[in-house]
Amino acid sequence: MGKDANWTKHTLLGKSLLTHWEEGDGVAEDGNPGAKMLVRSEAWSHIILQEQSSLPRTNIESFRANVKRWVDYIREYCPNPNAIIIVPVNWAYSGDWANYTAFNSTFVKNCQDVALDLGVTLCPVGVAYQDVFEREGSEGTLTWFLDDRHPTLKATYMAAAMEYGLIYGVDPMEITWKPAGLSADEAADMRAYASRALNGFTNYVDHTAGQVHYKVTVRDQFGMEIEAPEPIVMTLSGGGDIDANQVFTSNGENGEFTVTATTGTFTQDASLKVANALTEVVTYPAIELNENVLSASEAFDVMGTEATASLPEAWRIDRILTGPRTVGRYDLADDQTMYSGGVSLPSNAKNGTWNFGDNAGDDRALGGISTGVAGGTRCVNVYAHLLNTGKKDIENVNVSYNVEKYRKGNNSAGFAVQLYYSIDGRNWNNAGNNFYTYFAPDAETIGYETVPGETVPVSAVLPTKLARGCDLYLAWNISVASGDAAQGAMALAIDDFTIRGELPRIPASQHYIFVNDLTGWDALGLYAWGDSELFGAWPGEASVGDSIIAGVNYKVFLLDTNGGNYHLIFNNWNNGKQLPDYDIVANRDYYFSITESEAVEVSPSTIIEKVLDNAPVLQVRGREVTYSGAITVYNLNGQAVAGGRDGVSLNHLSSGIYIIQGRSGSSLDTIKVAIN
């Protein structure tokens, strides 16, 4: 038997869920999508959260906090917020057989406590590990362990059969497929263990049965559990039935319902949601940036003079009716304005979103007007959606724009424009005072004969980067500066937007390791042991960037030490593959070409230590370079940043490492310099 499924994984062996959390919103250090990015990428029906092997037993509060972070994140950011979240129950280590049963019991209890709190579903893998111990003793249990904790093939098959049964609501005994490394008898035995554990275990949230098993406790003022003063009565606002055993069973009706427990004069409510899985990922047009496109601009002139003007692609606008200084949601905003105009706007001009401009129609801006009228606009938001489609982060993101004023306003609080940013267009961060533009109150509310009547330029660096593969949403909130009164409003707009970023710079280092990666691995890590643990704990560090040398792309690792003996281990980021140790002395740069089987030191043709007799030689004095021929200066991303003939100044370059190449006829000289 089998079913079609779209699935992926993101693993960091031996690490906790907190480590996955701290990878960030975009691509992880290994160059692949991080866990958060994967959660946001698809409308997943099921998401499995595998905690580090011992943590659920040894530190339940850390375990609970780790799971809660992910549950909250999935509910907020996954395109299917109703995804079923599965937490496998871990198992005790082998060898300590005297404590094996007690430790497995603690795993089950702690996982059940967390499941009760957070509504996740448990896959009782650890229950099967206890079952084999009770049936076959330590000798039989050892056949499930590769070492003291990791599973053998048959134990992995058992856990997979259990997950399959849990996800699809079938008995693992019905599975017929088996891996080639297992005999038919071994596979049947593992399916039997999976079946007994799964069918004998009760989940508090049982999606297959459409049931929720509640547990009601009564506590005193000190938090101590006490006996209920009277029998506990459970009631339900709708959506199904709840029986005397405190088990809710859905009748198939979707909605949010309330479960109430009553004992004597005490009552406590719990919320319950029944919903179908969402299966589509909604995408929105974006302003795309990447390694080759580091800037974009928008003047809004394409909108023309129509009142219901279509906004440029990836731009949106809304008006908020509930209160001032409130940022809405990009996905719910409009792609058209409500009104058009700008010259001599009257004091009673309509509130809402506006396509502002002069009468000629060739210079437009996007904004709006608020009001104090009941049910009217309290503030206006202008939105933009950007996407990094490249493989590198974009840093030092400078955003510049003009705030234009099309009508005076006598509201005593004045008006302001504040920029916000977000990774999802829903949860916003204030971009700071550098992006706050305040307009003091005017004596009257009246328009200008020549527009815009006032223009304030803004240009600053955002307090965030545009991570590779990630979205960045911007929102300009146009609102009364303080208080709730939104009448006597100024007409304000955004115009002449430009965004510009930079690629990350490779940090200065005493030496470097350049790697031409031909392994075909999904990720590359470099670990070193010897006189010290050079790149941190296993699996070490990922590359800090790329450098193109003689047309070859090298991954760059920092060898920021001088001297010492080390053993390099190239690995696929702790996913089961590594090359034999390569011994180095950390007193120079190294260049490698690596395959899946070996690392070979190479000498790139552009790095020449010796030059031909009588050939011109590059000379560097201070920040001035001389050479009898053409000079080109490259950063470690392989980009030309300066050039000329016979002499080049480096004064305009920021600190970092640069490759300087001189060429005269067939002669070539290359040196590396560090600018501090």
Average pLDDT over all residues of the chain: 92
pLDDT average, residue stretch 227-233: 91
Cβ contact 62:51 at 8 Å: no
Residue 345 tokens read as 């706007």
Owning domain of residue 365: 287-502
- Domain of residue 596, CATH code: 2.60.40.10
Confidence of residue 410 (pLDDT cuts 50, 70, 90): very high
| Closest CA relative to residue 490, chosen from 406, 382, 375 | 406
Residue 175 tokens read as 């599975």
Tally of structural domains, the chain: 5
Residue 252 tokens read as 């198939």
pLDDT average, residue stretch 192-221: 94
pLDDT in tens, 31-60: 778 899 999 989 999 999 999 999 999 999
Cβ contact 387:397 at 8 Å: no
With a pLDDT cut of 90, the percent of the chain lying above it is 74
Confidence of residue 507 (pLDDT cuts 50, 70, 90): confident
| Closest CA relative to residue 355, chosen from 371, 368, 370, 345 | 368
Cβ contact 383:474 at 8 Å: yes
pLDDT in tens, 327-352: 999 999 999 999 999 999 999 999 99
Q: Are residues 248 and 295 in the same domain?
A: no
pLDDT average, residue stretch 293-313: 96
Q: Are residues 67 and 158 in the same domain?
A: yes
Question: Which residue is associated with the tokens 């790149």?
Answer: 535
Q: Are residues 315 and 185 in the same domain?
A: no
Residue 464 has a CB neighbour count (10 Å cut-off) of: 16
Q: Are residues 364 and 445 in the same domain?
A: yes
Q: Are residues 304 and 389 in the same domain?
A: yes
Q: For 417-464, give the DSSP string.
A: EEEEEESSSSS-EE--GGGEEEEPPPSS--B-SSS-SEEEEEEEE-SS
Q: What is the pLDDT of residue 469?
A: 86
Rg (CA), the chain: 32
Residues 6+ apart with CB under 8 A from 647: 624, 625, 626, 627, 631
Cα 446 to Cα 282, 367, 378: the distances in Å are 42, 17, 19
Single out the residue in 436, 471, 502 at which a domain terminates.
Answer: 502
Question: Has residue 651 been placed in a domain?
Answer: yes
Q: What is the pLDDT of residue 27?
A: 77
pLDDT average, residue stretch 286-312: 95
Residue 615 pLDDT greater than 60, yes or no: no
Q: Are residues 360 and 248 in the same domain?
A: no
Q: Are residues 41 and 152 in the same domain?
A: yes
Q: Are residues 564 and 586 in the same domain?
A: yes
pLDDT average, residue stretch 381-408: 95
pTM of the model: 0.75
Question: Has residue 2 been placed in a domain?
Answer: no
Question: Has residue 223 been placed in a domain?
Answer: yes
Q: Are residues 138 and 51 in the same domain?
A: yes
Q: Are residues 223 and 78 in the same domain?
A: no
Strands 84-88 vs 121-123: parallel, antiparallel or unpaired: parallel
Burial of 449 (0-12, 13-18, 19+ CB in 10 A): exposed
